[in-house]
Amino acid sequence: MCFCDIMSNKGNFCVEMDIETYQISLNNVIQMKRRGHSIMCAPLEKIRGKSAAAILEAIGLSETVPVPLDPILEYLGISAVPFDFSEVEDALAETVSRRGNILGMMISKGDSAGILYRKSDSVNRQRFTIAHELGHCALAPKVITRRIEFRNDKKTNDLKEIDANTFAGELLIPEKSLRMLYDETVMPIVSLLAKAFAVSENVMRARLDVLGLNHA
């Protein structure tokens, strides 16, 4: 059974990664986490080193609002699957108590990859989780054949997490589109811009701040 068989007919691109591979990888990551090993992302060559702007430009989404993630995932050959992390969190209870709940996970094998995102999260948060994981794949310095990544919901000073968050903001809120909408409004209101781009207000505030745009 491949990932697309459990994707609730969302239409995402299916890669050749079966459930058995996922279960083996999940067991491995639990053991590695318990032993304190570091686990880093195994990005596909197609995304590694690419900026969010370059990816959007390649598939003609630089001016699309909100940015649809399905065409991006299909272009990259990556699946995105909603998932209940309850059992994983129970198995990693000590880690979760320190770092917060699991929001997303990247699983890869060779040139196939899948992102698991928390099924109970809001759509906006799910979108950000997927974009965040893509950021890790794009920003990783080298390809590692197999990896799973956990992302928690607590604030971090980890530069890799901050960079992945920045990438996600750039992917979901392209600068050109944002400036166009920003200039069309008499008084830019974060809530309205966030709704237009299908992101949270916190994500929108952060993007506006990075671009030096005032907001109410």
Q: Does 180 lie in the same domain as 164?
A: no
- Kindly state whether residues 47 and 138 are assigned to the same domain: yes
Amino acid letter for position 180: M
Task: Work out the average pLDDT over 53-70.
Answer: 95
Q: Name the CA radius of gyration of the chain, rounded.
A: 17
Q: For 74-83, 155-164, 201-210, which range has the lowest pLDDT when averaged over its residues?
A: 155-164
pLDDT band at 46 (very low <50, low <70, confident <90, very high): confident
Say yes or no: 159 and 128 in one domain.
yes
Q: Residues 120, 216: one domain?
A: no
The whole-angstrom separation of Cα 148 and Cα 48 is: 16
Domain end point (choices 169, 192, 208): 169
Judged by phi (left if over 0) then psi (alpha if -120 to 50, else beta), residue 53 lies in alpha
Are 184 and 142 part of one and the same domain?
A: no
Give which of 65, 216, 165 is closest to 208, Cα–Cα: 216
Same domain, 140 and 211: no
pLDDT digits (tens, 9 = 90+) for 17-32: 344 545 555 555 555 4
CA dist list (Å): 110 to 104, 143, 150, 170: 20, 9, 19, 27
For residues 128 and 199, membership in a common domain is answered with: no
Whether 93 shows a pLDDT value over 90: the answer reads no
Q: What is the pLDDT of residue 29?
A: 52
Is the same domain home to 17 and 99?
yes
Please classify residue 158 by burial: count the beta carbons closer than 10 Å to its beta carbon, then call 0-12 exposed, 13-18 middle and 19+ buried.
Answer: exposed
Of 37-41, 70-74, 80-84, 162-166, which gets the smallest average pLDDT?
37-41
Burial 124-154 (b: 16+ CB within 10 A, else e): bbbbbbbbbbbbbbbbbeebeeebbbbbbee
My answer on whether 35 and 77 are in the same domain is yes
pLDDT band at 126 (very low <50, low <70, confident <90, very high): very high
Asked if residue 103 and residue 12 are part of one domain, the reply reads: yes
Rounded to an integer, what distance in angstroms lies between the CA atom of residue 195 and that of residue 188?
Answer: 12
Structural domain count of the chain: 2
Distance (Å, whole) CA 70 – CA 80? 9
pLDDT of 10 strictly over 70 = no
Task: Identify which of 39, 42, 3, 4 has the alpha carbon closest to the alpha carbon of residue 19.
Answer: 3
What's the domain range around 188? 173-216
Residue 151, both tokens:
């992302």
pLDDT of 25: 53
Q: What is the pLDDT of residue 191?
A: 92
Percent of the chain with pLDDT over 90: 39
Are both 94 and 111 inside the same structural domain? yes
By DSSP bridging, strand 112-118 and strand 102-109 are: antiparallel
**pLDDT over threshold 50, residue 37:** no
Pairing of strands 112-118, 78-83: parallel
> Which tens digit of pLDDT belongs to each residue from 151-183?
655 567 778 888 999 999 999 999 999 999 998
180 in the same domain as 131: no
